[in-house]
Amino acid sequence: MGETIQSVLGQTYPDWEMLISEDCSPDDTREVLRKWARCDPRIRLIEMSKNGGPAAARNRALELAKGRWIAFLDSDDLWLPEKLSKQISFMERQSACFSYTAFRRIRSDGSGLGRLVEVPTQMSYHRLLGNTAIATSTVLVDRAVTGDLRMTKTYYDDFVLWLEILKRGYIAHGLNDDLMRYRVMGGSVSRNKAKSALMVWQTYRDIERLAAPVAAVHFVRYALHAWRKYRTF
């Protein structure tokens, strides 16, 4: 977590606030985060009263966020120093309200820099249904255009939010600059491929209300993109 916070402190874009939702961790995480918050007034710790899961924690931060631009950063991931400045400039040039970037993986101990995971230049709702291109810690949203954001309590709360935004007719724009490090944890949920696949299927059927044949087409595309994405480190 310390490295993650440091990666925000190191941004070349200075006008940011970092809201950290602490979801009742059983260890000393909360006290450690309090120390970080005392070090820089731009860091705000949100102490959840009970464990409500990722969507509840993210929603509380979204409710309290003051800025126009909303970025997401998972606790294991890292931003490169020019992440915010380059991405905001890119979005202003493109008149975009939603963007995502390329990234590289690192192992849990921070070693083993992986290949560049490039992204498509644009993503619509229907294209995203069959794709895995948008990594949460690369996303930036202009809520002056989209309005307030809210996560749905489901396994893939981030994926569902991206679909909800794009379903309104917006287009997500991809920036193929290497601006994030995705840490691959041994026990991370994304590593459980069978469960992940089942949850994607349930997202299609239960949340997006896709007919089974339509869902099957998107699922095959999703699986192929996932295989290409993860076939090499």
Q: What is the pLDDT of residues 8-25, one digit of tens each?
A: 999 999 999 999 998 777
125: domain range? 2-230
pLDDT confidence band for 190 (50 / 70 / 90): very low
Separation CA 197–CA 222 (nearest Å): 9
Looking up residue 45, the CATH number of its domain turns out to be 3.90.550.10
Q: Residue 126: phi, psi to the nearest 5?
A: -70, -35
Q: Cα angle at 128 between 123 and 130, to 5 degrees?
A: 135
Q: Which residue has the tokens 């890119």?
A: 90
pLDDT at 189: 41
The pTM for the full model equals 0.92
pLDDT at 81: 98
**Hey, what amino acid is at 203?**
T
How many domains does the structure of the chain reveal? 1
Q: Which residue has the tokens 């918050």?
A: 37
Higher pLDDT, 189 or 178: 178
- Contact by Cβ (8 Å): 134, 163: no
User: Which among 134, 135, 139 has a CA at the least distance from the CA of 87?
Assistant: 139
Average pLDDT over residues 78-95: 98
